[in-house]
Amino acid sequence: QKEVEQDPGPLSVPEGAIVSLNCTYSNSAFQYFMWYRQYSRKGPELLMYTYSSGNKEDGRFTAQVDKSSKYISLFIRDSQPSDSATYLCAMSARFYSSASKIIFGSGTRLSIRP
Amino acid sequence: NAGVTQTPKFQVLKTGQSMTLQCAQDMNHEYMSWYRQDPGMGLRLIHYSVGAGITDQGEVPNGYNVSRSTTEDFPLRLLSAAPSQTSVYFCASSYSVREGEKLFFGSGTQLSVL
């Protein structure tokens, strides 16, 4: 079983819809949760960064962490064609004796139809 | 600022050949790392460095070598290329080990080994 599970999609929604992207994980030691966005033939870019449980909002994006269920979500409101990309969840349990070890999901491909 | 620069963008090798993937960052970042991205497997850490002169192995280090003689540069060497090393390679950096999850990625090198 993978430490982080992410539905690969593809997910196709009409412009303006609310998008929900999700990941589940098995390691209860994870404390830091991230969402990276990756456009085709580009490197990932950090979109959201959260620590522990709760919600974080940044413009049209909301990241949600439920540690009791080992489940994280990314919501995109008023989705735009420019949001079409692959979204990678990532998480880590930081140990100061070594560099943080980040586990990435395999990514969900999202397409927003005009 | 250029950010993280990777060269080359594309490379084709024959089995047994060696080559070096170049990575440079101009953000004075302490932490640098190399990942490979394969379909359905997410990003996997190959090697990382927490500062000039300090390197360590990640999850999939076999067949790869790194060095970090300056803060800016972190080249990845393939010693004897194998078809299993066909992948997309990303170099990433972050300001410090303590914020190792906030990664800045290069645009990637697509490598094919025949």
Q: Rounded to an integer, what distance in angstroms lies between the CA atom of residue B20 and that of residue B60?
A: 17
Preferred mutation among B101, B104, B111 to probe A, highest tally of A CBs within 10 A = B101
Is pLDDT larger for residue B31 or for residue A1? B31
Q: Does A41 touch chain B (CB under 8 A)?
A: yes
User: Residues B4-45: pLDDT tens digits?
Assistant: 999 999 999 999 999 999 999 999 999 999 999 998 888 999
Q: Are strands A71-76 and A54-58 parallel, antiparallel or unpaired?
A: unpaired
Q: Rounded to an integer, what distance in angstroms lies between the CA atom of residue B37 and that of residue A91?
A: 16
Q: Does A88 touch chain B (CB under 8 A)?
A: yes
Q: Does A44 touch chain B (CB under 8 A)?
A: yes
User: Minimal Cα–Cα distance from A104 to chain B, Å?
Assistant: 6
User: Minimal Cα–Cα distance from A45 to chain B, Å?
Assistant: 7
Interface contacts (A, B; CB < 8 Å) = 63
Q: Residue B97 pLDDT more than 80?
A: no
Q: What region, left, alpha or beta, does residue A29 occupy, with left being phi > 0 and alpha being psi -120 to 50 degrees?
A: alpha
DSSP count for chain B of H helices, then E strands: 0, 11
Q: Residue A99 pLDDT more than 80?
A: no
Q: Rounded to an integer, what distance in angstroms lies between the CA atom of residue B13 and that of residue A31?
A: 40
Residues of chain B contacting residue A4, judged by C-beta atoms under 8 Å apart: 42
Alpha helices in A1-114 (DSSP H): none
- Mean pLDDT, range A35-41, rounded to an integer: 96
Contacts of B27-31 spanning 24+ positions with Cβ under 8 A: B27/B1, B27/B3, B27/B93, B27/B95, B27/B104, B28/B71, B29/B71, B29/B93, B29/B94, B29/B95, B29/B96, B29/B104, B30/B71, B30/B94, B30/B95, B30/B96, B30/B97, B31/A99, B31/B93, B31/B94, B31/B95, B31/B96, B31/B97, B31/B100
- Which element (helix H / strand E) includes B49? strand B42-51
Q: What is the pLDDT of residue A100?
A: 59
User: Minimal Cα–Cα distance from B108 to chain A, Å?
Assistant: 6
Beta carbons of A49 and B4 less than 8 Å apart: no
Of A6, A90, A99, the CB nearest to B50: A99
Beta carbons of A102 and B56 less than 8 Å apart: no
Q: What is the pLDDT of residue A56?
A: 94
